[in-house]
């Protein structure tokens, strides 16, 4: 008997599984991938994300990472601002392949049943609610997996959220990302980097073993169709990064993703709640995507526990309220930055403001790092 089935074993799904399993809930965690698996990401946990892990005794999963003590922001005209998170405050950088597998194994240690390589095709419906999921059988025949509650944490292209008309890609702006790991990038430090350009931005982050994560996010769909060329040309021609990547060697394949932004219309239906990118995803330029995932999983797990304990059928409604209370201001902040990048005039105005009054950008960097949550 399964009390809760969780679809998607990334950070949100694994965190929800850990919380629920530790509370004695019978959890089954499904993912179509087998771990470890590659994932396009900035690979950084900001201070707020680390605070969530610390609350659950999970900082050990980041032990192989390196500290990130702040952010560097540049524009193409030469403006450069460095902002430290503050004394004794840091994030952490490590590959998602390592982080995700560590969280998945922690979920298993907590008592969750884990099914890797398991494709979830659709929700099982009963009236306006959900009573479990339909999974692909090994013999080619689909099979039902019933559960009183389901958590859809299966990513920005969630099959469950889309089947229930709960999520869609944002109409505008639409952006695509391409990223890879590089060796021998010069000028790396303990800071994450965001290089804001007209109609695009470039994230660079240090990784263990002297590697660097470089990711380009662009609104140019034609360029995004050729991700290797997009990444190579952007880094090779950028006025700030070209020299630093001149001798760099790409050591992984280029991974692409897009369109990025996902808008959700609700946090679920009776019997199902959303978590992680399934519940909404904003361009990752602020480096706070993993905080959204981990904290959102906490909120989803809390409502699921309440529903199981008291027989409630409104977990999705309560979760929507909790998420608005927790994230509304940060959503507005991220949307404002996303709109700014889409306007060359706004980018230039922000760059001039940073040049003559860098204090506001320092505060922006601290806010992006979720220091309040930390």
* Per-residue confidence (pLDDT) for residue 78, from 0 to 100: 77
As for how many domains the chain has, the answer is 2
Q: Are residues 271 and 326 in the same domain?
A: yes
Q: What is the pLDDT of residues 227-276, one digit of tens each?
A: 999 999 999 999 999 999 999 999 999 999 888 877 788 999 999 999 99
Does residue 57 have a pLDDT over 70?
Answer: yes
Does residue 340 have a pLDDT over 90?
Answer: no
Residue 356 vs residue 52, higher pLDDT: 52
Q: Where are the beta strands (DSSP E) in 207-339?
A: 211-218, 249-250, 255-257, 262-264, 268-269, 272-274
Q: Are residues 265 and 320 in the same domain?
A: yes
Task: State mean pLDDT over 327-338.
Answer: 72
Q: Are residues 184 and 253 in the same domain?
A: yes
Q: Crossing angle for the helix pair 96-110 and 11-22, nearest 10 degrees?
A: 20
Percent of the chain with pLDDT over 70: 86
* Per-residue confidence (pLDDT) for residue 308, from 0 to 100: 97
Does residue 171 have a pLDDT over 80?
Answer: no
Q: Are residues 187 and 322 in the same domain?
A: no
Task: State mean pLDDT over 116-131.
Answer: 95
Which pLDDT band, with edges at 50, 70 and 90, does 91 fall under? very high
Does residue 371 have a pLDDT over 60?
Answer: no
Q: Are residues 62 and 161 in the same domain?
A: no
Gyration radius of the chain's alpha carbons: 20
Which pLDDT band, with edges at 50, 70 and 90, does 168 fall under? confident
On whether the CB atoms of residues 350 and 285 are closer than 8 A, the answer is no
* Per-residue confidence (pLDDT) for residue 283, from 0 to 100: 63
3-state secondary structure of 55: helix
Per DSSP, 317 falls in state: H
CATH code at position 89? 3.30.9.10
Q: Are residues 89 and 204 in the same domain?
A: yes
156 Cβ contact list (under 8 Å, min separation 6): 257, 260, 262, 277, 278, 281
Q: Are residues 162 and 119 in the same domain?
A: yes
Q: Are residues 202 and 349 in the same domain?
A: yes
Does residue 106 have a pLDDT over 70?
Answer: yes
Which pLDDT band, with edges at 50, 70 and 90, does 368 fall under? low
Task: State the average pLDDT for the chain.
Answer: 88
Residue 329 vs residue 91, higher pLDDT: 91
Does residue 365 have a pLDDT over 80?
Answer: no
Half-sphere exposure of 140 (CA within 13 A, CB side): 0
Q: Are residues 27 and 151 in the same domain?
A: yes
Q: pTM of the entire structure? A: 0.91
Which pLDDT band, with edges at 50, 70 and 90, does 285 fall under? low
Does residue 220 have a pLDDT over 70?
Answer: yes
Q: What is the pLDDT of residues 2-35, one digit of tens each?
A: 999 999 999 999 999 999 999 999 999 999 999 9
Q: Are residues 156 and 269 in the same domain?
A: yes
Q: Are residues 141 and 157 in the same domain?
A: yes
Lowest mean pLDDT among 61-75, 88-102, 274-288, 326-340: 326-340
Task: State mean pLDDT over 177-182.
Answer: 96
Residue 17 to residue 29: CA distance in whole angstroms: 7
198 burial class (0-12, 13-18, 19+ CB within 10 angstroms)? middle
198 Cβ contact list (under 8 Å, min separation 6): 76, 344, 347
Task: State mean pLDDT over 303-328.
Answer: 95
Tokens representing 152 are 């859809």
Task: State mean pLDDT over 280-290.
Answer: 71
Q: Which domain holds residue 211?
A: 44-94+175-258+343-374
Task: State mean pLDDT over 198-227.
Answer: 93
Task: State mean pLDDT over 62-70.
Answer: 95
Q: Are residues 140 and 228 in the same domain?
A: no
CATH code at position 119? 3.50.50.60
Residue 347 vs residue 146, higher pLDDT: 146
Does residue 343 have a pLDDT over 60?
Answer: no
Residue 243 to residue 262: CA distance in whole angstroms: 35
Task: State mean pLDDT over 301-316.
Answer: 97
* Per-residue confidence (pLDDT) for residue 341, from 0 to 100: 57
Range of 62-76, 102-116, 137-151, 345-359 with top mean pLDDT: 102-116
């Amino acid at each position: 008997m399964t009390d809760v089935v969780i679809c998607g074993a990334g950070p949100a799904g694994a965190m929800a599984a850990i919380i629920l399993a530790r509370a004695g809930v019978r959890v089954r965690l499904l993912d179509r991938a087998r771990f470890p698996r590659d994932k396009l990401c900035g690979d950084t946990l900001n201070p707020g994300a680390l605070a969530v892990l610390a609350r659950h005794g999970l900082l050990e999963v980041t032990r192989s990472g390196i500290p990130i003590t702040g952010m560097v922001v540049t524009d193409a005209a030469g403006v450069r601002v460095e902002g430290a998170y503050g004394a004794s405050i840091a994030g952490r950088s490590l590959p998602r392949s390592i982080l995700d597998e560590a969280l998945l194994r922690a979920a298993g240690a907590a008592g969750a049943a884990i099914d890797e390589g398991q494709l979830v095709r659709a929700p099982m419906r009963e009236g306006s609610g959900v009573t479990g999921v339909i999974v692909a059988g090994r013999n080619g025949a689909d099979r039902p997996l019933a559960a009183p509650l389901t958590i859809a944490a299966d990513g920005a292209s969630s099959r469950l959220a889309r089947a229930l008309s709960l999520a869609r890609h944002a109409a505008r702006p639409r952006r695509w990302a391409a990223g890879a790991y590089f060796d021998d990038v010069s000028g790396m430090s303990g800071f994450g980097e965001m290089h804001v350009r007209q109609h695009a931005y470039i994230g660079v982050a240090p990784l263990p073993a002297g590697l660097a994560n470089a990711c380009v996010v662009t609104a140019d769909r034609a360029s995004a169709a050729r991700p290797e060329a997009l990444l190579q040309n952007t880094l090779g021609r950028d006025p700030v990064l070209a020299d630093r990547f001149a001798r760099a060697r790409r050591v992984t394949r280029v991974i692409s993703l897009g369109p990025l932004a996902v808008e959700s219309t609700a946090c679920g239906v009776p019997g199902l709640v959303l978590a992680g990118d399934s519940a909404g995803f904003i361009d990752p330029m602020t480096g706070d995507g993993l905080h959204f995932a981990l904290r959102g999983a906490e909120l989803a797990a809390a409502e699921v526990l309440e529903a199981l304990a008291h027989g409630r059928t409104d977990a999705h409604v309560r979760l929507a309220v909790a998420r608005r209370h927790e994230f509304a201001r940060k959503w507005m902040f991220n949307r404002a930055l996303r709109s700014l990048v889409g306007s060359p005039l706004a980018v230039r105005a922000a760059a001039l403001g940073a040049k003559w009054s860098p204090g506001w950008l320092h505060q922006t960097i601290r806010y992006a790092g979720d220091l309040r949550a930390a």
